[in-house]
Structure 1
Amino acid sequence: MHIDLVDRDRYASSGPPHDQLTWLRANSPVHWHQGEPSFWAVTRYEDVVHVSRHSDLFSSARKLALFDDAGEEQVAMQRLMMLNQDPPEHTRRRSLVNRGFTPRTIGALEQHIRDICDDLLDKCTGEIDFVTEVAAPLPLYVICELLGAPVADRDKLFTWSNRMIGTQDPDYASSPQQGSTAAMEVYAYANQLAAQRRANPRDDIVTRLIQPDENGETLDENEFDLFVLLLVVAGNETTRNAASGGMLALFDHPDQWDRLVADPTLARTAADEIVRWVSPVNLFRRTSTTSQVLGGQPIKENDKVVVFYASANRDTAVFPNAEVFDISRDPNPHIGFGGGGAHFCLGNHLAKLELRVLFEQLARRRPRLHQSGPARRLRSNFINGIKELPVTVG
């Protein structure tokens, strides 16, 4: 079988190459993937979890966590972001940021999220684009709430996020330079927010993060700017694409939509199954820190190692009937939020809360919702994204 797991045109036309991933799990689970550059493709659940939980063996900092290689200047700058750090630096940063994501903080958002969903659904009539009218605004409203930013700023956040993750998509950005410009605009926006909170502290995540913790530790200016950048992208793109991909999965499996409409409380397990099925983040890159063996293959120091969550989440060794979309699947040990370890998604509880409330309200309030045109996918091998999903609100 011809193997090309990073062809962006394939992702744009039909999503992750599950036929190739299935073959690799069975025949070559740690596979030397030819290309420019070549890399080790890790496709089996057990191996993806092993890589994720051993930052000492598979580094996020040496060559960053994103697939594309970067120049030394960019690497040095991006290492200030948690995504591209290893312990102990990552541990320090995460402990500071955790102050904004306590169970109390997230739990207190449920009614607010339900109100946002109801407001969005109130405005949905006739034929609409589910992505821009429902899936995208929800996490952006929540991010504005977390940051204490005006709701009117959500359009700016939406545009910046699209430009940063869509540098290879003609609809969003025509060059990596536009993505870099968007990042600089987010930095400036973060600086403005921090200055406002220093002058007028409020009960929000920005105020908590710019104040010293019990040990006197705080985020410096660059660290705070990069946290806001990560929140704008990670807190937006994952939930947005899980929501739109989940809606498409329910259209593709109308029996599951009928089950959800009949029993909206299934939204609790449906949220996890949607994340498993969609795997909004397709891959991350690590760099081997030593000569070692993974899945029977000899890995050399500094080899590029890429883990594929979309593959691991359909591993039949872990998920019975893995190719079946089942909104009542339980247990569901998916790794759509990462395979554990240092980089397990900080906002996973918030994302699941948003998805649960959204699909519960959709089932209750828009039971006759149906697809009215083809979905258009993002041209990206990183984010399993949907740019457009026409629906008719019955």
Structure 2
Amino acid sequence: MGLFQRQEYHEVMERLRETDPGIHWVDEGDRGSGYWAVTRHVHVKEVNRRADVFSSGHSGAQMRDLDPNRTVSGSARHPTLVDMDPPRHTRYRRLVNRGFTPRMIGLLEDYLQNRTDIILDNVVEQGHCDFVRDISAELPLQAVADVMGIPVEDRAKVCDWSNALIGRADPEFIKTREDILRAAAELFGYSHELQTERRSTPADDIITTLLAADVDGEALTEAEFDMLFLLLCVAGIETTRNAITWGMMAFFDFGDQWKKFISDPDRYMDTAVEEIVRWATPVLHFRRQALSDYEIGGVRIAAGDKVVFWHAAANRDPRAFEDPWRFDIERTPNDHVGFGGGGPHYCLGASLARMEIRLMFREIAGRMPDIRLDGEPDYLRSNFIAGVKHLPVAYSPSRPYSTVPLPRLGSAAGVSGTVGYGGHVERATS
């Protein structure tokens, strides 16, 4: 884990990728059964797209095998979408997709623009802030919470649970194994409360949609709903938060690109968003298990072998990207795998993430054009998420817009404030 927290993993990924054939066996010793590390762009995309050969459901999509006996609050573990294969994955994915249609994302834009304005209102007068806590973590939290219909007063709790579950190897978030179990139990307990509330009072949100839906003629069980709820919370908050943070850090490192971007944000926005996602690659890897013998890149993968494909390596592959170590907001083409390499597990929230990145960087360019690093970044201890926990920044103070919050999408009630990363209420209006 230290390799990742020290940000030294790119050097290791580069050695693996540039040593032919770019696919190498990794012996895990007593930590696991070993796996094939797939590092080149073309091969990562191939594994992603061949769900008929490379299974997520047999042993799970992360580095360690799923433990079928692991329980949380007495409930047997149920797989999330990332741990399923078609056709089961297809059926569940179709349900969740209903909350991320172009219509739903379009309805969110005005609300999220309003949220973006408020987020910056809360910090522009200070002249300095923790970019992660005060800016990049806020918008994804508001976006996901609104899609799911989570009340404003509960959003800080959801963010804390997400931090604990994704930062399970980081002592800032987790001290003991009991902390992980407690966070999961509290998240699932909250999921049960939402289910009960929405069954009695339906709303225009994904929770109500999922509860009203059925899979193969049967309603979702409580455990199935819990795992979908967990995935939407964690994936929706953590990945976009880190994409925005890494994007800002890239602009710090490549000042010419920031100068170009702030000169005309709309001109460069579309290609800049894709380059931010490529550069950030928030999800470092996923794992599969071969269902049959298969040859890829001249390497024979035997049935039963584990395969770990590294998005972080693929997105720096010189075979796919000219000058891959340069952050270039005009990069075209940009066939990155930051949202996955295609196939059934392509990121369902990609359109929402792109919108959030676009909204946030447009406002930062206009209101904090001289933003700069004001200390050392603090990285998450994780080999799964490329996370940044804290990023001190400074900028010239300015006056806030005093933005009036819009009502939550689908709600007749007014929004009383925005809840910050870590649980503080940033602004309260009536």
2:3 maps to 1:10? yes
More helix as a share of residues: 1
Contact 1:78 1:84 in 2 (8 A): no
1:212 & 1:164 partners in 2: Cα distance? 27
Q: What residue is the counterpart of 1:52 in the other structure?
A: 48
Shift in Å at residue 206 of structure 1?
A: 1.2
Q: Percent identity?
A: 44
1:74-105 deviation digits (Å, cap 9, x = unpaired): 49955532110001110110111111111100
Deviates more, 1:137-146 or 1:30-39: 30-39
Q: What residue is the counterpart of 2:13 in the other structure?
A: 21
TM-score w.r.t. length of structure 1: 0.94
Q: How does 1:78-157 map to 2 (within 5 A)?
A: 78-124=77-123, 125-157=126-158
Q: What residue is the counterpart of 2:186 in the other structure?
A: 185
Report how many aligned residue pairs link the two structures.
386
TM-score w.r.t. length of structure 2: 0.86
Contact 2:78 2:224 in 1 (8 A): no
Shift in Å at residue 71 of structure 1?
A: 2.7
1:172 & 1:212 partners in 2: Cα distance? 35
1:212 & 1:34 partners in 2: Cα distance? 44
2:67 & 2:225 partners in 1: Cα distance? 23
Q: Which amino acid aligns with 1:374?
A: E
Shift in Å at residue 156 of structure 1?
A: 0.6
Contact 1:143 1:232 in 2 (8 A): yes
Q: What residue is the counterpart of 2:205 in the other structure?
A: 204
Q: What residue is the counterpart of 1:351 in the other structure?
A: 353
2:310 maps to 1:308? yes
Q: What residue is the counterpart of 1:287 in the other structure?
A: 289
2:395 & 2:154 partners in 1: Cα distance? 27
Q: Which amino acid aligns with 2:141?
A: L
2:309 & 2:179 partners in 1: Cα distance? 27
Q: Which runs of 5+ in 2 are unaligned?
A: 397-430
Contact 1:338 1:344 in 2 (8 A): yes
Shift in Å at residue 151 of structure 1?
A: 1.4
Deviates more, 1:182-191 or 1:213-222: 213-222
Shift in Å at residue 364 of structure 1?
A: 1.1
Contact 2:92 2:215 in 1 (8 A): no
Q: What residue is the counterpart of 1:368 in the other structure?
A: 370
2:265 maps to 1:244? no
1:82 & 1:14 partners in 2: Cα distance? 29
Contact 2:78 2:223 in 1 (8 A): no
Indicate how the Cα distance of structure 1 residues 215 and 294 shifts in structure 2: closer, same or farther if over 3 A, else same.
closer
Q: Which amino acid aligns with 1:371?
A: L
SS in 2 for 1:245: helix
Q: What residue is the counterpart of 1:32 in the other structure?
A: 25
Deviates more, 1:129-138 or 1:148-157: 148-157
Contact 1:60 1:85 in 2 (8 A): yes
SS in 2 for 1:71: coil
1:47 & 1:79 partners in 2: Cα distance? 30
SS in 2 for 1:208: helix
1:72 & 1:213 partners in 2: Cα distance? 24
1:284-342 deviation digits (Å, cap 9, x = unpaired): 11111122222222222221110000111111111122111011212211110111111
Contact 2:78 2:227 in 1 (8 A): no
1:132-155 deviation digits (Å, cap 9, x = unpaired): 001111111112211111112221
1:55-75 deviation digits (Å, cap 9, x = unpaired): 121110111011123433249
Contact 2:91 2:215 in 1 (8 A): no
2:265 & 2:176 partners in 1: Cα distance? 43
Contact 1:80 1:222 in 2 (8 A): no
Greater than 6 Å deviation, 4+ residue runs: none
